[in-house]
Amino acid sequence: MKLLLLTFLILTTWHFADCQIENESSNDTNFHLPTNVYPFKYNLFMTTFLPGYKWKADERNLTFEGFVNIDLEIREPTDKIISSSYYSKDEVKKVNRWDFTPEFQLLNLYLDEVIQPGTVTRISLGFKGKLRNDMKGYYTTDSRTVTGETMINAVTQLEAIEARLMIPCFDEPKFKATWEVTLSHPTGSSALSNQEVHASYFFEDFTVTQFKPTPKMSSYLLAIFVGDVLYKQTKTDRDIQIRVYADPVDYQVVDHAINVSRVTVEGFEKLLQAEYPMRKLDFLAARRFSYGAMENWGLIIHSRPAILGASDYVSEVVIHELAHQWFGNLVTMKSWGQVWLNEGFATYMTPFGHTLLNPKYDRDFVRTVTQTTSSKCFQSFQYYLDNQITAQKTDDRLPLNTQDKYEVSGLNYSKGSSFIRMLEKIIGTDHFLEAVRHYISQNSYSNTEDQDLYKALEPSYSKPADAPTLEKFAKCWTNQNGYPTVYVENFNGTVRLTQRMDINIHPSYTEYNECGYKWDIPIWYQEVGKTNIELVWFTKDREFLELNLQEPVIINANSNGYYDVVYSNSQYESIANSFINNSQLYSDSTKIRVLSDALKHGLKNQIPLQNAFIVADSLMNSDNFEILKHAKEVFSTVKYEMQLRNETVDLELIEKRVEELNERIVFKQCASSDEFSSCFAKTFVTEEQACSSMKVVETSNSSDRLIEWLKNEKSTGNREKILRMLACGDGKTFIKLNKKIKYKKSTLNFSELALIQVITGRLSRMI
């Protein structure tokens, strides 16, 4: 009889009958699980042995053990699989033979009967292991009690391919199933998982907590915590319970995260017209955590700086993880090769969340600043997006082992969100969001590829005759390295555009050039003296594109596309004059994009650096401190580089401009009697703008006023904002702070202490 096999991913110590296997990570492989069998329900029971509670710690201390029943749908003829360690209530089929393939991290169970498609069956497997210490799988963290005692906790981090470190499972995103979790844990500890508690009872020195079944989800979204925490809570307008858990010494400073999460959940439900599918949503602050946060469905785990306090960073991370509840959890990519569908969308949606908190938030400008001024973002843009594991991988298959730690590349966040934003601008915001709602509706509790997204968007796309379909358009942007630079020149009274890729791919990286390093480029342009922005297509099959327009014309107006633009010298002068004389006609996104591109390509010796200075000089009257900060950086860079190159530079003019910026008054819109919160709201929209103001202005009036506010401020959130602004200045501000305010460490919360340390660190570096 022909024997077929069923494979499981496993990287933990576990037992099978009377045998026990212990194995470590194996060599790299690109094997994928077969799809002849699909799980549809896991029933997990697990005991965690932690010290510090009533039970007497023994050799099981810092270990876990349990069993999992996996209900399976047979889709192709195969053998029924049952572990001989544990038995299901169904008919038991004999395991004829089993083996383990360490290089593939696979358990193979060979049976003596073939099961036909349409059959539903169950396998039961036991497992046990030690709590890890490397912040992967199921590992140890800790917490502090109010008396200063350290308690050991256990928490999971299973993305991307680390669920197998804890339990045998189908550890790929496409295998979605419900999870019924029951946790046995020392009495006195708290147990958390994705769903709300269904029941709990005591058994000797342990408490057994049973959770309700989760929605269908991928294994990497399973989350478990056992340990010592307290919480604060609120409810949404649909009565969804939101709790933020933290150390007993930290949980009092989670109010900001609670408020942000409530507003965001309510707002995203309305915006996306899709309800959050569970009745509870928990956040947890972990002292030991490798990332900012992890979007586990219903139990989002954060590092402490990403959830405690009242910073914009906390808002950013909370919103991003909440966006994942729809983009990644409800709708999930089929394979890790297209994780940009998860991370790109979550990053793209984050500014929408900020607008729910503050309607003045300019999501286009903030996105442009991130896209153009972040060196990390620039660096990641040079590699290709679709099917990206690392730039050195040659296919879209994810290695199944973890010998080399798998990281979700930052490229998926930055380039992915920039590409999605470009799709939004091509289709139009309202039509795009309507299509995204359809995409979510059609693919809820399922898996998608990028073609599914384009299929959902296409009906909302009014395609011009000379434009590509969205799928063809996307192919070149997601399947090759880099992005284009558009060169603008005068040609016989017209504006002529050409394109090329200016990025040099490092020899150790693969050349992904699906379209020969050509792109179908949506050209957004804005003519001088006009406010409207027009769109034309520069397709990859054209050598150049001619526009019958008069100078100056802005290409990539509002920074809608993720491509650079380089102008001729005379055009930079014309654009700078237009910024001075018609400043109100151009968005701040347009201004900072022109400035950033000029500096970048000037540093690459593709155009004179003087052009960057000309543009920066034209923006001196801006009230946007982000623009002024970047202009100041341009002045300093141009001065340094041109001196280094022995080029002529007007040092007196540059120093004059820097001095003018130093003398700017940050709080000029505020009366002397204004409280900090009122003045901040009048002056800034984001904390990043507030920070930029301290980098622009070096006179003492700003720091002096901040210190005066700090002396009398009662609000924890406002004290943190003041400290963050002071931290953005130079070390001299800390000297003033130390002289004028005497803080006792016992009166400071986690966030305030961290900021004091930042300022102290800057001072020590100066000394």
Q: Which residues are catalytic?
A: 321
Three-class DSSP category at 316: helix
Q: 126: helix, coil or strand?
A: strand
Q: Are 343 and 321 in contact (CB under 8 A)?
A: no
Q: Under a CB-based contact definition with an 8 Å cutoff, are residues 82 and 8 in contact?
A: no
Strand arrangement of the beta sheet that strand 190-193 belongs to: 137-144, 150-157, 224-227, 190-193
Phi, psi of 269 (to 5 degrees): -60, -40
379: enclosing H helix or E strand: helix 375-381
Sole residue written with tokens 């394979």? 335
Q: Is 630 annotated as a binding residue?
A: no
CA 263 to chain centre: 19
The rounded distance, in Å, linking the Cα atoms of 312 and 143 is 25
For residue 464, count other CB atoms closer than 10 A to its CB.
10
Contacts (Cβ under 8 Å, ≥6 apart) of 493: none
Write 387-393 long-range contacts (CB < 8 A, 24+). 387/337, 387/338, 387/479, 388/337, 388/339, 388/340, 388/412, 389/336, 389/337, 391/481, 391/509, 391/510, 392/508, 392/509, 392/510, 393/510
Secondary structure in 3-state letters for 130-194: ECECCCCEEEEEEEECCCCCEEEEEEEECCCCCHHHCCCECCCCCCCEEEEEEEEEEECEEEEEC
Please list the alpha-helical segments (H only) found in 585-624: 588-603, 610-618
> CA geometry: angle at 405 spanning 401 and 410, to 5°?
125
With residues binned 3-state (H G I as helix, E B as strand, rest as coil), the percentages for the chain, rounded to 5, are 35, 25, 40
Q: Is the peptide bond before 160 cis (omega within 30 degrees of 0)?
A: yes
Residue 603 structure tokens: 């540093």
Residue pair 538/486 in contact by the 8 Å Cβ criterion: yes
Here the tokens at position 120 are 């539903």
737: left (phi over 0), alpha (psi -120 to 50) or beta: alpha
The beta-strand segments (E) located in 512-558 are 521-527, 534-538, 545-547, 553-555
Q: Are 21 and 100 in contact (CB under 8 A)?
A: yes
CA atoms within 13 A on the CB side of 672: 1
- Per-residue CA distances from 235 to 275, 285, 323, 601, 697 (Å): 14, 19, 18, 50, 42
The answer on whether 185 is annotated among ligand-binding residues is: no
For 320, the 3-state DSSP assignment is helix
189, 226 Cβ separation under 8 angstroms: yes
* Strand pairing class (494-500; 197-203): unpaired
CA nearest 127: which of 6, 11, 42, 24?
11
Instruction: Please give the Cα distance from 605 to 347 (Å, whole number).
Output: 33
How many angstroms separate the Cα of 360 from the Cα of each of 224, 583, 683?
38, 20, 12
The secondary structure element, H or E, covering residue 21 is strand 19-21
Tell me whether residue 295 is annotated as binding: no
Beta bridge partners of 130: 63
* Residue 467 per-residue DSSP state: S
Distance CA 267, CA 237 (A): 10
Annotated binding site: 320, 324, 343
